[in-house]
Amino acid sequence: MRLLNIRLIVSLILGITLVSLVSSYFEVRAQKRSLRQDLEHRAEVLAESLAQNVEPYFGKGSSRLQGIVGQFGNREHLAGVAIYDRQGAVLAVTPSLARWLTTQPHAAAQSLANNHGTSEFVRTGNDALNIYAVPLHKDGEILGVLVIVHDAAYIDAQKARVWRETFLRVLVQVFLIALITLLIVRWSITGPIARAAQWMKALRTGRASPHLFSDSDLLHPLAKEVASFAQSLTAARCAAEKEAELRDAAESEWTAERLSVHVRSRLKGSRLFVVSNREPYFHIRHGKTVQALVPASGLVTALEPVLCACDGTWIAHGSGDTDREVVDQHDRLRVPPDDHRYTLRRVWLSKEEEEGYYYGFANEGLWPLCHIAHTRPIFRASDWEHYQLANKKFAKAVLEEMEGIERPVLLTQDYHFALLPRLIKKERPDARVAIFWHIPWPNPEVFSICPWQRELLDGLLGADLIGFHIQSHCNNFLQTVDRALESRIEWEHFAVNREEHRTTVMPFPISVEFPQPESGREDKSSYEERATLLRELELEATYLGVGVDRLDYTKGILERFLAVERLLEKHPFYREKFTFVQIGAPSRTHIKRYHDLIAEVEAEVERINWKFAAGKWKAIVFRKAQHSHDEIRRFYRSADLCLVTSLHDGMNLVAKEFVAARDDEQGALILSVFTGAARELRDALLVNPYDIEQTAEAIRVALEMEPEDRKARMLRMRKIVKEQNVYRWAANLISTLCEMRLEKQEAKAAGIAGGSTH
């Protein structure tokens, strides 16, 4: 650092000196030119005035001329005056000029020759002179020449003074700038770097938080990278400590790091491909810049560490408004934005294709069909055509990405891609293909409503592995296949044999990431958090309940409102004391059923609040907006209870998110029996959401539950969520797929050598 200071100061001194000298040089030249011009002008004026006095007496005797010359001997800087005839003979001269003008000056000869005034600067010994000569006339005839001589030494003196002042000014500037530079370097660079070094040393020894270093705008890019490095270091240390604790306790908790190592060992050098409708990053324009955003998705949390570990490829629909601007010619880009670890391949759909495939067949057809939530599914032939086309587009993109890859592994996500497994397996029999169905699978009678059930089932059975959340969904699927297709069901192994291909059907209960405690972060207690939230909401309440959902008719939002209403009717004690906050994220709003649902929810909130209106208190607060994870976490931690009343759900991760957020080991979970989560979280208060009386009573029980009982229940649920987290889900799914034998498919692929045949 000292060497840096010396180099910086020396460079500044040399630079400032050089600039000052060059500037002074031109300044001296300009001033010298100005002084000379001024002197010549004065000489010219004097010469013209004197010539008018001399010309009448020219030729009348040198004594008279000498007298005139003698009158001008005391002017400023005037050295003297001389008069010469045409032959160069001296007619009159100031006595002081005798030592300088021994002969006629060159300027005098030039003036006679050119018949106009002539000026020149000459140096005689150590003296600098300006000589100005003007011709003398009589009747138009040149009689002689008048010479004015000025002492020009003062010009040299002025020039020397300028150089001297410049030197002193440069000396002072160099001193001041060096001093200021030292202070700036110390304040803006050396100091922050020294503090960063001390902080990093403390971090290395485990005595600092990765969130404390933020020093000066100048070092902001470095600070950002250092903070990122510090978080990685802290995470690595925590992971190592956690692994040591787990080994000591003979436990095995799954983390992102462990999942990465596990998947690399299972892939054995092959590549992983993930297909989903939703992309892990989407790009939007913010002002003049393009920003990459991460959607709120448990799927991204689960699968991104896997793709990072094996440099995989994620194929998804490009839905961001600037997604096309950031991809290359092959519609690819490397992600994450700040640490490129895997490839995102985007597939483009027209508005008509998206409307038919996603909003139409997938969400107006399959979604209500599978959820059995008393909303009639709509199946249109045009939507089915777009669904087929979209699956083919995605299949084409997958095959292009797989080209040249031996034994690729494909994870297909959800009901948007029921046809994709068969399309891929037909072209790449050497690929291991799995599809995870994130929503329920209904009984065979319900699924038979779909006009294209055989085509959907055939597409799904192209996979080697089909995953559902719970065993009953697997059973429903196998029963549906048994009734609809020609196949052989192996009930003891939960597998389907069809067209010389074996498909295994298994449950893989998805979960959430269990948060690790962060050093240096001090969370408020649930009571403090609740008080803060109530102030922000401008409410007065003693008890707080929360519900977090997409605004979907399968989530039982209206049913839970009726339960809150019934609680307040049966138990007036809770009026003006219990408030229920419903966070509702609008979804698929241009589908009529979803649009109508928003109006129904708002009307029901208004009706119930009007019924029990009292001061600042409200029975229900409806927040219709997207909320970040951090915002939702505040409500989870503040609430006395969380209501999850889905009418039918594959899993419902809100229940697990609430449990994971309650590190204070408080709060009660009221959970619908029609969710997959109810199979795992047995310590929740399980309810039938259609039974309003039962749900209302569960709310009362949750509010009046003894703290010891509430804590014991939460501890058991947290243990389940912690052990069965999202990383374990991904590990089990990928491990099962990679360990499957492809048998005849491998033989068929022997001559393909990993290339695509499409």
Tell me whether strands 289-293 and 282-286 are parallel, antiparallel or unpaired: antiparallel
**What is the identity of the amino acid at 41?**
H
Element (H, E) at 279: none
Q: What is the DSSP string of 142-171?
A: EEEEEEEEEE-HHHHHHHHHHHHHHHHHHH
Among residues of the chain, what percentage have pLDDT more than 90? Answer: 48
Question: What number is the average pLDDT over the span 93-100?
Answer: 73
* Helix (H) / strand (E) containing 730: helix 726-738
Least Cα distance to 555 among 704, 453, 378, 674 occurs for 674
DSSP letter, residue 709: H
CA 331, 333, 334: angle at the middle one, nearest 5? 155
- Report how far residue 358's alpha carbon sits from residue 355's, in angstroms, rounded to the nearest whole number: 6
Q: What pLDDT digit, counting tens, does each position of 311-337 carry?
A: 899 999 998 889 999 999 999 999 998
Q: Which residues of 449-461 are buried (b: 16+ CB within 10 A; e: fewer)?
A: ebebbebbbbbbb
What are the b/e assignments for 530-554, b being 16+ CB within 10 Å? beebbeebebebebbbbbbbbbbbb
Q: Between 230 and 569, name the one with better pLDDT.
A: 569
CA–CA gap between residue 484 and residue 478 (Å, rounded)? 10
Kind of pairing between the strands at 543-550 and 578-585: parallel
What are 702-742's pLDDT values in tens digits? Answer: 999 999 999 999 999 999 999 999 889 999 999 999 998 77
Query: What span, in angstroms and rounded, lies between the C-alpha atoms of 657 and 661?
Result: 6
Q: Where are the alpha helices (DSSP H) in 205-344?
A: 220-249, 256-267, 298-310
Fold (topology level) of 268-507: Rossmann fold (3.40.50)
Pick from 6-20, 567-581, 610-624: least confident: 6-20
Average pLDDT over all residues of the chain: 85
- pLDDT band at residue 214 using 50, 70 and 90 as cut-offs: low
What is the distance between the alpha carbons of residues 212 and 195, in angstroms, rounded to a whole number?
Answer: 11
Nearest to 513 by CA among 277, 260, 214, 725: 725
Rounded to 10 deg, the angle between the 526-537 and 629-638 helix axes is 110
How many Å apart are CA 69 and CA 357, to the nearest integer?
Answer: 113
Q: Is the peptide bond before 336 cis (omega within 30 degrees of 0)?
A: yes
What contacts 340, CB < 8 A, 6 or more positions away? Answer: 334
Which helix (H) or strand (E) segment holds residue 314: the answer is strand 313-317
Cβ neighbours for 470, distance < 8 A, ≥ 6 positions apart: 507, 509, 650, 651, 676, 679
Task: Copy the structure tokens of residue 480.
Answer: 């549906």
Report the C-alpha dihedral over residues 77, 79, 81, 85, rounded to 10 degrees.
Answer: -130
- The pLDDT value recorded for residue 42 is 80
Q: Where is 640: in which H helix or E strand? A: none
Please determine, for residue 205, whether its predicted confidence score (pLDDT) is greater than 60: no
- Measured between alpha carbons, how far is 362 from 588 in angstroms, rounded to an integer? 12
Q: How far apart are CA 450 and CA 460, in angstroms?
A: 15
CA 757 to CA 396: how far, in whole Å?
11
Residues 6+ positions from 289 with CB-CB distance below 8 Å: none
Is residue 752 very low, low, confident or very high in pLDDT (cuts 50, 70, 90)?
very low
Give the CATH number of domain 526-724. 3.40.50.2000
Residue 697 sits at φ, ψ, to 5 deg, of: -65, -35
Strand, helix or coil at 228? helix
Say if residue 71's pLDDT is above 80: no
Strands 127-138 and 141-151: antiparallel
Q: Where are the domains of the chain?
A: 2-157, 223-252, 268-507, 526-724
Reported as a single tens digit per residue, the pLDDT across 510-556 is 998 888 765 445 566 777 888 888 888 888 899 999 999 989 999 99
**Is 526-724 in the same CATH topology as 268-507?**
yes
HSE-CB for 287 with a 13 A CA cutoff: 2
**Residue 696: C-alpha distances to residues 157, 272, 617 (Å):** 104, 47, 19
pLDDT at residue 753 above 70? no
Please name which of 566, 556, 517 lies closest in space to residue 647, comparing C-alpha atoms.
556
Residues of the chain by 3-state class (helix, strand, coil), percent to 5: 50, 20, 30
pLDDT digits (tens, 9 = 90+) for 431-472: 999 999 999 999 999 999 999 999 999 999 999 999 999 999
Give the span between the Cα atoms of 589 and 598, in whole angstroms.
Answer: 9
Contact indicator for 343, 312 with CB cutoff of 8 Å: yes
The domain 2-157 is placed in CATH, from the list 3.40.50.300, 3.30.450.20, 3.90.1640.30, 3.40.720.10, at 3.30.450.20
CB 226 within 8 A of CB 219: no
Query: Helix 471-484 vs helix 453-460: angle between axes, to the nearest 10 degrees?
Result: 120
Position 418 confidence tier, pLDDT thresholds 50, 70, 90? very high
Q: Helices 653-661 and 629-638 sit at what angle, rounded to 10 degrees?
A: 70
Q: Is 536 helix (H, G, I), strand (E, B) or coil?
A: helix
Q: Where are the beta strands (DSSP E) in 348-453?
A: 409-413, 432-436
Widest pairwise Cα distance in the chain: 149
